[in-house]
Amino acid sequence: MSGSVEKRFEFLEHVSDAYIEAYGRSIEEVFENAALAMFELMSDTATIEPRRSDQFQLEAHDEYALLYKWLETLLVKFEMDMILYSRFSVTSIKKSNGMLTLSAKAEGETFSKEKHRTKVEVKAVTFHRMEIETKPDHVVVRYILDL
């Protein structure tokens, strides 16, 4: 993979869970694409309109914990408020006082049985087999979602 990113994410083979590999030119972009992949697994993101915008500010001690917290926060938002997201903008991931802080915005709308096709139910984000590879021109993350 060089200079430009062709694919945003793909679903890898796994026996009973969803094993996802997401790509980006930066850590921020790969977090956006990881979130997009999770929601694409749940529904058809092309049908999710950006009718609302939610801001997120999260902290964690490392990139793995931050990726977990980012995806888990979005999943909980869906479970509690029935919000499906299709657009993600991670404006920054900064290190300060030994902690990483993610600032982001997610856009979407309330789930509607008539409008949004349900694919699979994501029960949880896991740390199992989570990987983050940072290369000079791109970043790759792999993670498993419990279905």
Q: What string of pLDDT tens digits covers the 147 residues of the chain?
A: 445 557 888 887 766 789 999 999 999 999 999 999 999 999 999 999 999 999 999 999 999 999 999 999 999 999 999 999 999 999 999 999 999 999 999 999 999 999 999 999 999 999 999 999 999 999 999 999 999
Residue 133, domain member (yes or no) = yes
1 located within any domain: no
Give the number of domains in the chain. 1
Asked if the structure places residue 3 within a domain, the reply is no
- Look-up of token digits 């992949």: 37
108 within domain boundaries:
yes
pTM greater than the 0.95 cutoff: no
Domain ranges, residue 77: 9-146
Q: What CATH number does residue 101 fall under? A: 3.55.10.10
Q: Is 4 part of any domain?
A: no
Identify the burial level of 103 via C-beta atoms within 10 angstroms of its C-beta, where 0-12 means exposed, 13-18 middle and 19 or more buried: middle
